[in-house]
Amino acid sequence: MNNETIKIGKRGTVVIPANIRRSYRFEEGSLVIAESRPDGVLLRPVVTLPVEIYTPERKAEFLLNNTITSDDYASAVKEVRRMGLDPETIPHKKLEYS
């Protein structure tokens, strides 16, 4: 465990010593969480994951590809049309339903 005394600067800025930054891979622009603890403040790295924003066409593709029965497929086609899209233009596998 590495302890160092540091000074709080203007506007509450804190400079984390280089050896600690390196060991935790903190780089310029890194995000951290400042967590209040009974014995002080804990800084932890933030893990971020990309979020995919689905287009209407991608949503339609999901609807059409995830059907199990012919009734499901008919409902999906209806929903895709309600979205203002032509189901025939959406890439999907048309299954043979019994």
pLDDT digits (tens, 9 = 90+) for 10-68: 999 988 999 888 988 889 988 999 999 999 999 888 888 889 899 999 999 999 999 98
2 is a domain residue: no
Q: Show the domain range for 64.
A: 56-89
pTM: 0.50
Same domain, 63 and 84: yes
Same domain, 14 and 41: yes
Take residue 76 and report the two structure tokens written for it.
């999906």
Same domain, 39 and 60: no
The number of folded domains in the chain is 2
94 is a domain residue: no
User: Any idea of the CA torsion for 45, 2, 17, 8, to the nearest 10 degrees?
Assistant: 90
Sign for the CA dihedral angle at 49, 53, 58, 63 comes to: positive
